[in-house]
């Protein structure tokens, strides 16, 4: 009963956040005006702004926030390490490197709008496969080796990025930095739909592994004694989380801190049980990104801050406050 109440509260908060974000901007709208425009305002400027800018942006923000938070929950469960996040394994570094190479070679000027996202996704997938195959010994995945290899690949990608940027023109550097800092300003509806469908599909698929994730909290050996096929569970969960991160990074750039902070907060405030942890992290991650993006595009209006800047500052501050209060209670 308690979980149902929490879930209902989170759904209500998600709905309020989504509608609130759609009313905020250079053209401010009340809730009644918002509903009226959506119902009868077709052809007006406000309707165009809502349907072409704000609504797609909110959908993308919720999808990316949910996907990154979900990936963080999964990876922290696999590694049983609270410091692991989606970007620890070098996935973001690989994606950024792919995008940087496309920008530097000048392909982005002549290609379609799908090329940069494709390059980012390809870079993240290549990184995932490198981490995965380098971590296999005698047909078994070595969790600690996977983590160390991921960190090393992340450092290599960062170094390669710095090399590329140091030998690029100022215009190319600006494009690379802008993409790395993250943005939800994606005009392509197809990419937004892809991110939304992928995040929901990831959530549904992950719920098939609730029992293995809860068992892995006790360690791999004990999970095996409980009848869990740890090898296949870890492999499939790793692939699901990596694809979620790859798609998110490809569409929205590098938005850090979400996959680290949100799972921690949910564990501290709501529950450690993955049956509740997964959906709670997904919804709170979506709420967090949408609110951060709303702040990013209004705090210095008409200019816009990269959403990754806001997630880092706000997320880190909130996390420290929550952690401090929880420690004091104990």
Confidence at residue 113, expressed as pLDDT on a 0 to 100 scale: 65
Rounded CA separation 47/38 (Å) = 7
Confidence at residue 157, expressed as pLDDT on a 0 to 100 scale: 85
Per the model's pLDDT, the better-predicted residue between 200 and 33 turns out to be 200
Query: What integer is the mean pLDDT of 194-210?
Result: 93
Confidence at residue 36, expressed as pLDDT on a 0 to 100 scale: 82
Confidence grade of residue 300 (pLDDT, cut at 50, 70, 90): confident
In the predicted structure, residue 109 carries a pLDDT above the cut 60: no
DSSP 185: -
> 3-state class of 293 per DSSP?
helix
Query: What integer is the mean pLDDT of 256-260?
Result: 84
Tens of pLDDT, residues 112-166: 567 778 888 888 888 888 888 888 776 677 777 788 888 888 888 888 888 888 8
Query: What integer is the mean pLDDT of 172-196?
Result: 83
Relative to beta strand 140-141, strand 136-137 is: antiparallel
**Mean per-residue pLDDT of the chain:** 84
H or E element: which one contains 251? Answer: helix 230-252
Q: What stretches of 55-188 show up as alpha helix (H) in DSSP?
A: 55-79, 91-104, 115-134, 143-166, 170-180
Confidence at residue 329, expressed as pLDDT on a 0 to 100 scale: 52
Rounded CA separation 50/54 (Å) = 5
Confidence at residue 183, expressed as pLDDT on a 0 to 100 scale: 82
In the predicted structure, residue 111 carries a pLDDT above the cut 60: no
Confidence at residue 61, expressed as pLDDT on a 0 to 100 scale: 93
In the predicted structure, residue 317 carries a pLDDT above the cut 90: no
Tell me the two tokens of residue 10. Answer: 């989170």
Fold of the 2-329 domain: ABC transporter involved in vitamin B12 uptake, BtuC (1.10.3470)
Rounded CA separation 258/249 (Å) = 12
Rounded CA separation 270/220 (Å) = 25
Residue written as token pair 């994730």: 213
Tens of pLDDT, residues 11-24: 999 999 999 998 88
Partners of 137 in beta bridges: 140
Rounded CA separation 213/74 (Å) = 8
Distances in Å between the Cα of 164 and the Cα atoms of 126, 147, 171, 243 are: 19, 26, 13, 26
Residue written as token pair 């509806």: 189
Within the chain, strands assigned E span 136-137, 140-141
CB 265 within 8 A of CB 318: yes
Tens of pLDDT, residues 31-83: 887 888 878 777 788 888 888 888 999 999 999 999 999 999 998 888 887 77
Confidence at residue 138, expressed as pLDDT on a 0 to 100 scale: 65
In the predicted structure, residue 222 carries a pLDDT above the cut 70: yes
Query: What integer is the mean pLDDT of 317-329?
Result: 69
Confidence at residue 326, expressed as pLDDT on a 0 to 100 scale: 63
Q: Report the percentage of the chain scoring pLDDT > 90.
A: 21
In the predicted structure, residue 327 carries a pLDDT above the cut 80: no
**182 φ/ψ sector (left φ>0, alpha ψ -120 to 50, else beta):** left
Partners of 141 in beta bridges: 136
């Amino acid at each position: 009963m308690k979980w149902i109440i929490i879930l209902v509260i989170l759904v209500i908060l998600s709905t309020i956040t989504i509608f609130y974000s759609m009313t905020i901007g250079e053209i401010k709208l009340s809730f009644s005006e918002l509903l009226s425009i959506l119902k009868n305002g077709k052809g007006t400027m406000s309707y165009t702004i809502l349907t072409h800018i704000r609504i797609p942006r909110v959908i993308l923000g919720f999808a990316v926030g949910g996907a990154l938070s979900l990936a963080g929950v999964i990876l922290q469960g696999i590694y049983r390490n609270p410091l692991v996040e989606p970007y620890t394994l070098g996935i973001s570094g690989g994606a950024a490197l792919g995008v940087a190479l496309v920008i530097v070679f000048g392909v982005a000027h002549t290609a379609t709008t799908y090329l940069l996202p494709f390059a980012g996704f390809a870079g993240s997938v290549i990184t995932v496969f490198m981490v995965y195959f380098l971590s296999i010994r005698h047909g078994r995945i070595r969790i600690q080796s996977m983590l160390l290899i991921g960190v090393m690949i992340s450092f290599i990608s960062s170094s390669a990025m710095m090399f590329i940027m140091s030998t690029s023109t100022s215009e190319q550097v600006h494009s690379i930095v802008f993409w790395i800092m993250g943005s939800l300003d994606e005009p392509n509806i197809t990419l937004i739909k892809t991110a939304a469908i992928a995040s929901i599909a990831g959530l549904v698929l992950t719920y098939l592994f609730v029992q293995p994730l809860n068992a892995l909290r006790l360690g791999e050996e004990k999970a095996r004694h409980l009848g869990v096929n740890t090898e296949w569970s870890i492999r499939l969960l790793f692939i699901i989380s990596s694809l979620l991160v790859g798609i998110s990074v490809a569409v929205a750039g590098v938005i850090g801190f979400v996959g680290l902070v949100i799972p921690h907060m949910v564990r501290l405030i709501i529950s450690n049980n993955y049956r509740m942890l997964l959906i709670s992290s997904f919804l709170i991650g979506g709420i967090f990104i949408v609110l951060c993006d709303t702040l990013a595009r209004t705090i210095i209006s008409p200019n816009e801050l990269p959403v990754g800047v806001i997630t880092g500052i706000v997320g880190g501050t909130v996390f420290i406050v929550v952690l401090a209060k929880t420690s004091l209670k104990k």
